[in-house]
Amino acid sequence: MPDSPAIASSGAATAVETAHAAAHPDYLRHHFESVEQQADTTNFAMWLFLLTEVMFFGGLFMAYLIMRNWYYPAFVEASHHLSIFWGTTNTAVLITSSFTMAMGVWCAETRRKKGLLLSLILTFCLGLVFLCIKGIEWHAEWVQHHVPGLHYSVESFVNPASDPEIYAEYHDRALSPAMALRTEMYFFLYFAMTGMHALHMIVGISILGFMILRARAGSYTNGHVTFVENVGLYWHFVDIIWIFLFPLLYLVSRHG
């Protein structure tokens, strides 16, 4: 802008600039009319992304439903080898992390920097706790040779008594060798679904780590909350995936 001494010296210019700054804060991009429009647009885009995620996980859920219908006895007995205790605990952990994330969004909206930091750190830690518990479960499956393709063993299914603890609880009947082989499909889908979910958690936790650093520097509590809101949407979406994975993988086959 060319210097105009007449206006610069008038003092009215500062008033104009202040009004301009209030209407156009520095986080408002030039191609948007208003902060409101910018927020709506970003929100819409985030939801479109989440819909593609619904379709992505939908395919896995679909495969699980069809395979469970085809190889029902194998899927029932295979699911008896998951720990309902760890599954329930992890669901509680993830729901708590969604609550702390929601509180983080509220803190950003009401410009509470300390509250935002605390919420983000809690969410970050709960996400790690979830992954650790998942790791404990995966390790147990590795020890039992229930990882498909890696020394997979059908021993627990052709000879259920070989696993005394689970046999005492469920009294599973021995599967035919052909059906016992299909348990590998259950564990393949189990690892694909929980693994893909865990990958989403890792991405979410990484973004949270980045946000904690930015929030310490005062970001997000200056009125520009779009990023926190959208990461919140992502985090809650990952929570919803688990809300469906948990009953389908752990619970529905308990009574076969």
Partner 1 sequence: MTEAHEHQRHIVSPKVYLAVFLSLLCLTALTTAASFVELYVFNVVVALAIAVIKAALVVLFFMHVRYSNRLTKLTVASGIFMFCVLVGMTLTDYFTRAWGQW
Which residues sit at the interface with partner 1, rule CB under 8 A?
19, 22-23, 34-36, 39-40, 43-44, 47-48, 50-51, 54-55, 58, 61-62, 65-66, 69, 84, 88, 91-92, 95-96, 98-99, 101-103, 106, 109-110, 223, 229, 232-233, 236-237, 239-240, 243-244, 246-248, 250-252, 254-255
Task: Name which of 3 and 165 has its Cβ closer to partner 1.
Answer: 165
Return d(Cα 121, Cα 101) in angstroms, integer: 9
Task: Name which of 6 and 48 has its Cβ closer to partner 1.
Answer: 48
User: Minimal distance in Å, beta carbon 44 to partner 1?
Assistant: 6
Residue 250 carries which DSSP code?
I
User: Minimal distance in Å, beta carbon 143 to partner 1?
Assistant: 24
CA angle 105/44/112 to nearest 5° reads 15
Return d(Cα 75, Cα 181) in angstroms, integer: 11
Provide Rg for the chain, Cα atoms: 26
Specify whether the CB–CB gap between 173 and 130 falls below 8 A.
no
User: Minimal distance in Å, beta carbon 16 to partner 1?
Assistant: 13
Task: Name which of 198 and 225 has its Cβ closer to partner 1.
Answer: 225
Distances from the Cα of 174 to the Cα of 84, 165, 226, angstroms: 22, 15, 55
